[in-house]
Amino acid sequence: MKKDNLLDEFYSLVQVDDSDGHYAQDIRDNNYFGMPLEAVVKAERRLRSQTERCIAYFSMEYGLATSCYNKLSSQLALNPSNKIPENAVFSNFRVADYFFALHQNNILDLPIYSGGLGVLAGDTVKTMADYKLPVAAIGILWNSGYFRQKFWFKYGQAPEKMRWDPYTYPGLIPLKNIIKISLKPEDVYLRLWKYYVYSYQHDAVVPLILLDSNIEPNSQRAKNLTDQLYRSDNVFLKLLQRVMLGFGGVSALNDLGYNIDTYHLNEGHAVFAFIAKSRGMDKDKLEALKSKFVYTCHTPVEAGHDRFFFDDLNKVLNKEDTDIIERFGKERSGLANLTLLSMNISAAINAVSHNHQKVMHIQFPSYKDQIQYVTNGVHPGTWMSQEFQDLFGKFPETFVDFKANPMILSRAAELKRNADFRLQLWQAHQSNKNNLCKLLEKWKLDKNLFTICWARRVAAYKRPSLILHDISRLVRIAQQVGPLQIILAGKAHPNDNLGFTYINEMLDKVDKLNEDYDKLKIIVLENYDISLGKLLSSSVDVWLNNPLPPFEASGTSGMKAIMNAVLQMSTVDGWVAEATDKKIGAFFGYKNNEGSVGDESDLHMNADSEELYCALERMVGLYYKTNQNGKLNSASEWIDMMIECISTAAKFNTYRMVDQYKQQIWKIA
Ligand SMILES: *Cc1c(COP(=O)(O)O)cnc(C)c1O
């Protein structure tokens, strides 16, 4: 196709709001922010075709990081607010904390996610693009992101409102399309934005449509609806954020002329999409509509299931809409339950790991036959470090075409006796670890010392402070078995008081440490994000995962780690329960009774920290037999486990996951 025609067709399909020619440098000829424009035009055409079975994927959050994979580039000057800020460090080497900060100088992650759910949605969409699936993803343009975490010395986390500039974020473009959502108190107008998620290998894209209420003529109240992700301090904000996603998403798809066959609700947040589609339908049509919806549940935690009073719904929605909610989503207590609603209106329901399925079967016995499971995964192109991509590339006979087919990683086991592979594997790991040491140079991180990391959302069931539970025990391990470097990171939801308490506790314990810093380093990093997540999960020796079973529906950060041969120390929960036959580290801790949904309030801190320390002693001992002051014992069992990590990654990735969604859930295989 001729270049000019391509550009014309793009502008006819995508109504870019660019009255001042802002984007003329970035969208020209056959170029879209440094990527091929043709892929965009193809995707836009397919979504409007009458013959394809297109999928709309709805999610409240998307974890997409330009610094890790979505390498769109812009000629526009990057607004400084779109750079990762200088982050503080809190450690037991307080002098360094006082004088230095972390300078990453990367572009900010697209700030529309809070944690694992968003990262999974981002990884899913990237994989859909790799698979060239006709998909439109729907989300919200959070004008103030989630929040920026500031450490307030040792007193804990001070959440700061974050500012960023969508107009200069590479690849993100505002459209002329404005849609109207009619609600009882007032109409809300939403501007549509687009961000194209590219597959670099397969030259295909999935458009992500983002909804934004921060426009005229909305009232200030309405403008605030898309300000901050997961505002929960006010029931109407919470409700209306969900209404925006569902109603807004359906209107947006109509306005863009997309022809959607399957609506995928990534969490019940988006279930109002069904309500919007159901208007004016009789019984038969409603049944037919149900065959078009599928629902993925992501949490067994009580707070993860949204409930609303009908009185509150009635203040916002019209009667026809609340009638449908009453019919499909009213629980025995009389509340509207979005999980129940989602299950009742969906043709396929899935949990996100085998363990999670078992819990859901207990939580929702009458849906037992319908609840399947598709274990989560991580996107290899995003999370496999360059060092490891290069390493696999050097053994092409074993890892044939591993980029297109990560399942081939299972063959790593064949190289167990290959001395050259064992050595190069270690070197690749040390090279990754060296990157972390460089970033933390001022904190004197040493690449020949045992390094373990806990980094994730700070929520009670994840037990962020378990490894610090008995500091004197930790000190003894460091003195008697070998030096320890411990890295901790994570944000607590601003309204989660318990989460705050954990961060306080962590900082306070680190502050009080008097142990020789060369023996025990504990470093707490501010503002955990995707680029830190990638660096940490690929570079430490051991990834620590200690949720209280059975509350981790899946968890994904450990999957990022095994893809980079980082060993696991983990309780048996979420995805890990499907890998206990693999020698990928140490499993420990409380096991819940399979017939019950568990007790979130009993965290088993004493018993489980004891088990954690025993596992730690074994791992540290083995580590120092493997790495003796930089001298490698390449016959060590440690290397066997690193290899087993890689072969296990053959299963826990989004290619396997999307294959299963195609077969079991979307039924397009
Ligand atoms: C991977 C990731 C998560 C999810 O980690 P879990 O192990 O599922 O808790 C959260 N936040 C960031 C920034 C991540 O990269």
Ligand 1 pocket check for 353: Cβ under 6 Å: no
Tokens of 417: 């006796």
Ligand 1 pocket check for 383: Cβ under 6 Å: no
**Mean pLDDT across the chain, nearest whole number?**
95
- 380-591+602-651 and 48-376+659-665 share a CATH fold: yes
Residue-wise pLDDT tens digits, 157-182: 888 899 999 999 999 999 999 999 99
Could you please report the per-residue DSSP string of 213-233? --STTS-HHHHGGGTSTT--S
Beta-carbon contacts of 160 under 8 Å, excluding residues fewer than 6 positions away, are 147, 148, 149, 150
Q: CB-based burial of residue 381 (10 Å sphere; 0-12 exposed, 13-18 middle, 19+ buried)?
A: buried
Could you please report the per-residue DSSP string of 404-419? T-GGGGGGGGGGTT-H
Beta-carbon contacts of 204 under 8 Å, excluding residues fewer than 6 positions away, are 39, 42, 43, 129, 130, 132, 198
Ligand 1 center to residue 118 CA distance, Å?
9
Return the minimum-mean-pLDDT range out of 47-56, 156-165, 494-503.
Answer: 494-503
Of 536, 540, 521, which Cα lies nearest the Cα of 642?
540
From the alpha carbon of 557, which atom of ligand 1 is closest?
7
Averaged pLDDT, 430-452: 98
- The band of 495, judged by pLDDT with boundaries at 50, 70 and 90, is confident
Nearest CA to ligand 1 atom 7: 557
Residue 596 has pLDDT above 90, yes or no: no
From the alpha carbon of 555, which atom of ligand 1 is closest?
8
Amino acid identity at 154: K
Which listed CATH number (3.30.1360.120, 3.90.1150.10, 3.40.630.30, 3.40.50.2000) goes with 380-591+602-651?
3.40.50.2000
Residue 237 has pLDDT above 70, yes or no: yes
Residue pair 657/124 in contact (Cβ under 8 Å)? The answer is yes
Per cent of the chain over pLDDT 90 is 89
Top pLDDT among 599 and 658 is at 658
Measured at the CA of 99, the angle between CA 96 and CA 103, to 5 degrees, comes to 90
Averaged pLDDT, 498-502: 85
pLDDT at position 83: 94
pLDDT at position 128: 98
Is the bond preceding 549 in cis, omega lying within 30 degrees of 0?
A: no
Residue 4 has pLDDT above 90, yes or no: no
Nearest CA to ligand 1 atom 9: 456
Residue 129 has pLDDT above 60, yes or no: yes
From the alpha carbon of 462, which atom of ligand 1 is closest?
9
Mutate to test the pocket of ligand 1, among 352, 355, 457, 463 (most ligand atoms within 8 A of CB): 457
Ligand 1 pocket check for 553: Cβ under 6 Å: no
- The band of 498, judged by pLDDT with boundaries at 50, 70 and 90, is confident
Nearest CA to ligand 1 atom 1: 557
What distance in Å separates the CA atoms of residue 528 and residue 491, rounded to the nearest whole number? 7
Residue-wise pLDDT tens digits, 524-538: 999 999 999 999 999
Pairing mode of beta strands 585-587, 293-296 = unpaired
- The band of 1, judged by pLDDT with boundaries at 50, 70 and 90, is low
Ligand 1 center to residue 624 CA distance, Å?
29
Tokens of 141: 């343009």
Ligand 1 pocket check for 530: Cβ under 6 Å: yes
Phi–psi pair at 601, nearest 5 degrees: -90, -15
CA-to-CA separations, 10 to 19, 46, 49, 170, 206, in angstroms, rounded: 16, 13, 16, 18, 15
Nearest CA to ligand 1 atom 2: 116
Ligand 1 pocket check for 611: Cβ under 6 Å: no
CA of residue 51 relative to chain centroid, distance: 32
pLDDT at position 3: 60
What distance in Å separates the CA atoms of residue 93 and residue 159, rounded to the nearest whole number? 24
pLDDT at position 288: 97
Nearest CA to ligand 1 atom 4: 116
Ligand 1 pocket check for 69: Cβ under 6 Å: no
Ligand 1 pocket check for 116: Cβ under 6 Å: yes
pLDDT at position 496: 83
Beta-carbon contacts of 557 under 8 Å, excluding residues fewer than 6 positions away, are 116, 455, 456, 533, 537, 543, 545
Phi–psi pair at 525, nearest 5 degrees: -100, 140
Ligand 1 center to residue 304 CA distance, Å?
17
Averaged pLDDT, 49-77: 93
What distance in Å separates the CA atoms of residue 652 and residue 556, rounded to the nearest whole number? 9
What distance in Å separates the CA atoms of residue 638 and residue 625, rounded to the nearest whole number? 9
From the alpha carbon of 534, which atom of ligand 1 is closest?
15
Mutate to test the pocket of ligand 1, among 376, 379, 456 (most ligand atoms within 8 A of CB): 456
- Residue entry with tokens 């989503």: 329
Helices marked H in 256-379 — which ranges? Answer: 272-278, 283-290, 310-316, 319-329, 338-344, 354-363
Residue 662 has pLDDT above 60, yes or no: yes
Of 540, 539, 579, 589, which Cα lies nearest the Cα of 556?
579
What distance in Å separates the CA atoms of residue 553 and residue 575, rounded to the nearest whole number? 8
SS3 sequence, 561-582?
HHCCCCEEEECCCHHHHHCCCC
Where do the domains of the chain lie?
Answer: 48-376+659-665, 380-591+602-651
What superfamily in CATH does domain 48-376+659-665 come from? Glycogen Phosphorylase B; (3.40.50.2000)
Per cent of the chain over pLDDT 70 is 99
Mutate to test the pocket of ligand 1, among 61, 69, 119 (most ligand atoms within 8 A of CB): 119
Q: CB-based burial of residue 71 (10 Å sphere; 0-12 exposed, 13-18 middle, 19+ buried)?
A: middle
- The band of 2, judged by pLDDT with boundaries at 50, 70 and 90, is low
- The band of 55, judged by pLDDT with boundaries at 50, 70 and 90, is very high
Ligand 1 pocket check for 115: Cβ under 6 Å: yes
Of 398, 353, 358, 388, which Cα lies nearest the Cα of 373?
353
Of 290, 127, 287, 98, which Cα lies nearest the Cα of 200?
127
- Give the CA-trace dihedral at 494, 464, 352, 131, to 10 degrees: 80
Residue-wise pLDDT tens digits, 270-307: 999 999 999 999 999 999 999 999 999 998 887 788 99
Ligand 1 pocket check for 555: Cβ under 6 Å: yes
Residue 573 has pLDDT above 60, yes or no: yes
| 107 DSSP 8-state letter | B
Ligand 1 pocket check for 376: Cβ under 6 Å: no
Nearest CA to ligand 1 atom 11: 115
Q: Residue 253: how many CB atoms within 10 A of its CB?
A: 24
Ligand 1 pocket check for 533: Cβ under 6 Å: yes
**DSSP H/E element including 504:** helix 497-512
Residue pair 584/561 in contact (Cβ under 8 Å)? The answer is no
pLDDT at position 574: 97
From the alpha carbon of 109, which atom of ligand 1 is closest?
13
Mutate to test the pocket of ligand 1, among 491, 556, 564, 566 (most ligand atoms within 8 A of CB): 556
CA of residue 272 relative to chain centroid, distance: 23
Coil, strand or helix at 6: helix
| 589 DSSP 8-state letter | S
Mutate to test the pocket of ligand 1, among 148, 557, 575 (most ligand atoms within 8 A of CB): 557
Coil, strand or helix at 203: coil
Nearest CA to ligand 1 atom 5: 557
